Amino acid sequence: MRVLVIGSGAREHALALALRKDPAVTEVTVAPGNAGIAQHVDVRAVNASSGEEVVALAQELAADLVVIGPEVPLVLGVADAVRAAGIPAFGPSASAARIEGSKAFAKDVMKVAGVRTAHSEIVDHPGELDAALDRFGPTWVVKDDGLAAGKGVVVSPDRSVAREHAAELLENGHPVLLESFLDGPEVSLFCLVDGENVVALLPAQDHKRVGDGDTGPNTGGMGAYTPLPWLPEQTLTAIVEDVVKPVAAEMVARGVPFSGLLYAGLAIGQGGPAVVEFNCRFGDPETQAVLAMLDSPLAELLYATATGTLDQVAAPRWKDGSAVTVVLAAENYPGRPRSGDIISGAESTGTGTESEVLHAGTAQREDGALVSAGGRVLSVVGQGADLAEARANAYARLSGIKLPGGHFRSDIGLAAEEGRITIPAAV
């Protein structure tokens, strides 16, 4: 099987390495890829958001499967273009990708499906903002109603901070979504979905804030770990049965069946699981940890999803132990990141053993030097017999990497390791 992966981040690096290990896969190409991915597989230049360019490349490579990583190409219909050319595509149609592309659409789907989520209101005119803010609090959640790569969200007990963010979004022509605050620890659950067939992967927990102790602004994600020692199996089952399956069924009923990876972000509070958001693709940085634990052929699972045969393949198998992803970010991220700094010690082995370095925002200069070229530069993944060992392996590998001005969180997975995460006993 020849597989083309679309994207350029650490998520795509993880996908490429996992696909390369599948004995059924004879060739993996990533487009446009990055400097680290190029160490292991062929990379090709492409405009990932152009269905025409992606189809042309897939046809040139005689690809048997196209895996689309980022959300923007999916929302723009690249998977539709690939399927129209007769090539299996892992990723939802543009209509189904609205589950991420439009939070208002997602809220309506959840309402009809009877899925618990935060109360919300859309504000699309500055004159309506203050009255709407008065209906929320004492913790305000303000979101960009469109795609914002995880950084269009402000959660604050300070009304003025919430108002400033909402006003900025409105000034830039973006509708604002105000939500009630959901308490409890958050869970990221990836599910392979083929119409109404749902196969859950390992649950993970992301760390969105830039600083230790969940301080500072939101980012695209500073690290993640899997599995979750504090999440009971019955709660995981409830998420699949009461959240993901009803949403998948509702999308089929609307004539926009979901095919691909449906990512449910949830808060586990007193009332049980409640949806914070849905995404239409593998999440980053959770994917890096989840795929490190996968002990099944990845291509088989993705191809079955893409071809509507998910119910005909065996459930995924998982390794024992834990995996932790720690993100090394460029100076000033999540603001405008500094780029062009030389990175040393970031060689990627491609073996996926105790630790692995996955590239995201990297490039190679003409003189061969590896340099930073984005906000989240690297993902370092550690594996171990338990969470403590996985954390130790990740941070040990990270200690050998040098990036001027680079920063990372030192507490990824620490609260879980120390047993400080709990959910209500009834959940």
Q: Distance between alpha carbon 306 and the CA centroid of its chain, in Å?
A: 19
Burial of residue 238, with CB atoms counted within 10 A of its CB: 0-12 exposed, 13-18 middle, 19 or more buried:
middle
* Euclidean distance between CA atoms 172 and 216, whole angstroms: 23
* Euclidean distance between CA atoms 84 and 248, whole angstroms: 23
Backbone conformation region of residue 405, classed left if phi is above 0, alpha if psi is from -120 to 50, else beta = left
277-329: pLDDT as tens digits:
999 999 999 999 999 999 999 999 999 999 999 999 999 999 999 999 999 99
* Euclidean distance between CA atoms 207 and 379, whole angstroms: 13
Backbone conformation region of residue 140, classed left if phi is above 0, alpha if psi is from -120 to 50, else beta = beta
What number is the average pLDDT over the span 14-27? 97
* Euclidean distance between CA atoms 338 and 199, whole angstroms: 40
How many Cβ atoms from other residues are within 10 Å of residue 72's Cβ? Answer: 16
Is pLDDT above 80 for 427? Answer: no
What pLDDT band is residue 42 in, cutting at 50, 70 and 90?
very high
Is pLDDT above 80 for 426? Answer: no
Question: Helix, strand, or coil here: 20?
Answer: helix
Question: Helix, strand, or coil here: 341?
Answer: coil
pLDDT score, position 339: 97
What number is the average pLDDT over the span 386-414? 98
pLDDT score, position 351: 67
pLDDT score, position 44: 98
106: tokens are 């997602």
Q: Average pLDDT over the chain, rounded to whole? A: 95
Backbone conformation region of residue 272, classed left if phi is above 0, alpha if psi is from -120 to 50, else beta = left
217-273: pLDDT as tens digits:
989 999 999 999 999 999 999 999 999 999 999 999 999 999 999 999 999 998 899
What pLDDT band is residue 143 in, cutting at 50, 70 and 90?
confident
pLDDT score, position 153: 84
pLDDT score, position 145: 75
Instruction: Return the closest-CA partner of residue 189 out of 109, 254, 247.
Output: 247
| Domains within the chain, CATH numbers bracketed | 2-95 (3.40.50.20), 120-179 (3.30.1490.20)
Q: Which residue has the tokens 């239409």?
A: 280
pLDDT score, position 183: 86
pLDDT score, position 235: 96
- Report residue 339: phi and psi, to 5°: -130, 170
How many Cβ atoms from other residues are within 10 Å of residue 415's Cβ? Answer: 16
What pLDDT band is residue 151 in, cutting at 50, 70 and 90?
low
Is pLDDT above 80 for 352? Answer: no
